[in-house]
Structure 1
């Protein structure tokens, strides 16, 4: 019985489907690993920012400086670590919350 074009297409399809499936599995594994690393990094950054904000608020409260709810929200919701670091340094000598934001 002669081999037809359809036979070649079927055989090629079976062969290629193995590689396509393998690529999907490997791609999924790589994507999950990259997503996990990115998620951990984002979580760590958010955790550090939250801790910095709490420290700023603690310093201001310890120094007896009044903090409006708007200022507390602004500090608590900030995720810019550089800005939070600046605010912590200013909180040590500021006489009002507004001085942090100048």
Structure 2
């Protein structure tokens, strides 16, 4: 069974003498719900376009976060393999870093530079 479209009722009269449409709280909630059917072709097009753009943005952000997490794990593995003791503040700095380029730079340095302080400069 299809839900009915939210009903807009007229309130008495606004200060300019025009009828003003009002919605009940339930009507507004149903408009924000993802379950309500999109009736008009215009609404369908723009709803679909907004959904697709939001999905693509979220996917790209998720991939970027995944790259950063993977590089941080690789960096910690490289430090462990080199038997380098990682202080808690540095471990927190690595975990908090969300820039894959910076993490890649640190990973490259940790494989080439023997001194820990030089790896994480700048």
TM-score, normalising length: structure 2: 0.61
After the TM superposition, which parts of structure 1 deviate over 3 Å for at least 4 consecutive aligned residues?
A: 94-97
**Number of aligned residues:** 83
TM-score, normalising length: structure 1: 0.72
Asked if 1:49 is matched to 2:72, the reply is no
Of Structure 1 and Structure 2, which has the larger fraction of its residues in helix? 1
| Selected match of 2:42 from 14, 20, 23 | 23
What's the C-alpha RMSD, in Å, of the aligned pairs? 1.7
Taking the aligned partners of 1:77 and 1:28, their CA distance within structure 2 comes to 35
Question: Displacement of 1:69 after TM fit?
Answer: 1.4
Unaligned runs of 5+ in 2: 1-39
Taking the aligned partners of 1:39 and 1:80, their CA distance within structure 2 comes to 17
